[in-house]
Amino acid sequence: MYKLTELEPGTYVYALTEMESADDDGYQLPPHWVCAACYPKRRSVLRKIDDAWVCQPPGKCAAPIHTSQYPQYAE
């Protein structure tokens, strides 16, 4: 489960919740963000390229996100 999180004013991502981070085999997914623009259709993990977080494929859905934050589990 992912929770809508505001990284910077007006900039949103979905962050994985810690509660939902373990799969059935006990493997724990690391914290990550998924693209808010793509979220209704697919879970697209944002990747850091140079100094910006971008959806894959880049540039198709939303502007690169510039933030000093790194992914953390949502509350």
State the residues that interact with Zn ion by CB under 5 A.
Answer: 35, 37-38, 44, 55, 61
CB of 44 to Zn ion, least distance (A): 5
The residues facing 6 across adjacent strands are: 12
Closer residue to Zn ion (CB): 19 or 43:
43
Closer residue to Zn ion (CB): 30 or 41:
41
| CA atoms of 61 and 66, how far apart (whole Å) | 15
Q: Are strands 52-54 and 47-49 parallel, antiparallel or unpaired?
A: antiparallel
CB of 38 to Zn ion, least distance (A): 3
| CA atoms of 15 and 66, how far apart (whole Å) | 16
CB of 52 to Zn ion, least distance (A): 13
Closer residue to Zn ion (CB): 34 or 74:
34
Residue 10 CA, distance from chain mean position: 15
